[in-house]
Amino acid sequence: MPHPFADKLFVFIGNPTRCSRQAARDALVNVGGVPEERYSVYTHYSVAFNGAEKTKLYEKATERDSYGHTVLLTEEQFFNVLEGKADPPAKKKPPHNPNAFSIPPRDSEAWERELEEAVSDAINRKRLTNIARYGVPTSDGGRMKADLRPLDMAIRLDKFIGKQYEQFRSKIAVTLETLKSKPIHEKAIIKGIATFNVGDVLEYKARSETEYWAKVSDDVNTRSVLLEFSRDGSDLVSYSCGCSINNRSHLICKHIVAAVLAIQGRIVETKVTLSKTATVNVTVDKTNTAKAVGSGSLDVFATPMMIALMERAACEVLKDALDDGQTSVGTSIAVDHKAASPLGATISATATITSVSGRKIEFELSASDDNRIIGNGKHTRMIVDSKRFMERVGK
């Protein structure tokens, strides 16, 4: 049987005494519940911890509890239900509305049909005045008068937010290389793709513009996954899963991989792959010595020229991996120049991709002459849109 808190939204008010706030959130997530930072009309439960009585949030929760819109739990009730010692209390019955009036009962099908029409009219903003004047049909055949302007506003706001979330979701494009670059469990990619392909991601919902919750099934249990994406949708900023692998070592597991693929709706193909490498060469002559470029007084290969050659190698790695209108820019480099190279020596610089985090690519660098390794280091580049980048530079 599913846990009584499974798939329910929560608001935590105050601070727990039995554990930390984060521990309480983690305990809830492990049974499928989803904590919310702010109060909303979608909240199923509110939990009043120590000091909650002094907050306006508690007053709002108390009022909504009295009207049967949510269930207000004490800390003891919350942990008793969480630990399976008790069932959650039921919602209270709303107080009697003196403006309600009854008409002769009709069959249930007619009521359901009329209620569906009323909801449809409210969503499409039709006949709102008449609905408010004559009331919303109730299951006993009566009608309940209601001011539907707040409902209309909430529905329009919800549709607007849903549209915004959908627009953001269309931008999400986290590649498998980005996932592989993070701490990841063995075979998580293979198993995650299989989980996604057989449809075991049961559902997912947007919690904010960049945060998503997903419910992923496996052979034994159903797991809740929380994901936060970067603003451009190309990277995974944070993640958590209720499985033992993630709790023990905070690795990316198959449930997280499957949830990412389900939310973005596809496996994103990329030519920017881990271990991809390129090598470029140059001969030491009078134009690239330390004496020529002003970084020293001797006719040996200059350190700035070695760094430039290494960056050239990194650009060469990405040369066939960029879309039209894209380029890459260097953001950091750390290099050791270990040995000098004389005039006439052939210098080879090699760059290898070691990490992919969305648009940020990290490289391992090395340089050698005819006889030995003369330098090594690390380098980071960002993939950018050429036109937008230059427009920002112009400002």
- Domains of the chain are 9-82 (3.40.50.10190), 108-169 (no CATH), 176-264 (no CATH), 277-394 (3.10.129.10)
- Spatial CA neighbour of 211 closest among 159, 168, 180, 176: 168
Please determine, for residue 126, whether its predicted confidence score (pLDDT) is greater than 60.
no
Residues 290 and 298: beta-carbon distance below 8 Å: yes
Q: What is the pLDDT of residue 157?
A: 63
For residue 347, what are its two tokens?
A: 């210098």
Q: What is the pLDDT of residue 91?
A: 84
CB-based burial label for 123 (10 Å; 0-12, 13-18, 19+):
middle
State the helix-helix crossing angle for 21-30 and 75-82, rounded to 10 degrees.
40
Q: Which residues of 166-191 are buried (b: 16+ CB within 10 A; e: fewer)?
A: eebbeebbbbbbbbbbbebbeebbeb
Task: Report the chain's C-alpha Rg in angstroms.
Answer: 30
Please determine, for residue 321, whether its predicted confidence score (pLDDT) is greater than 60.
yes
Q: Which residues contact 71 (CB under 8 A, 6 or more apart)?
A: 44, 45, 46, 65, 88, 89, 90, 91
Give the C-alpha separation, 233 to 86, whole Å.
Answer: 41
User: Minimum mean pLDDT among 98-112, 150-164, 297-311: which range?
Assistant: 98-112
CA 287, 289, 291, 292: dihedral to nearest 10 degrees? 20
Q: What is the pLDDT of residue 143?
A: 67
Of all residues in the chain, the percent with pLDDT exceeding 90 is 53
Q: What is the pLDDT of residue 103?
A: 53
Q: How many CB atoms lie within 10 A of CB 327?
A: 16
- Spatial CA neighbour of 48 closest among 87, 88, 15, 4: 15
Which DSSP letter does residue 52 get?
G
Please determine, for residue 281, whether its predicted confidence score (pLDDT) is greater than 80.
yes
Please determine, for residue 258, whether its predicted confidence score (pLDDT) is greater than 80.
yes
Give the C-alpha separation, 42 to 226, whole Å.
Answer: 18
Give the C-alpha separation, 64 to 62, whole Å.
Answer: 6
Average pLDDT over residues 69-78: 92
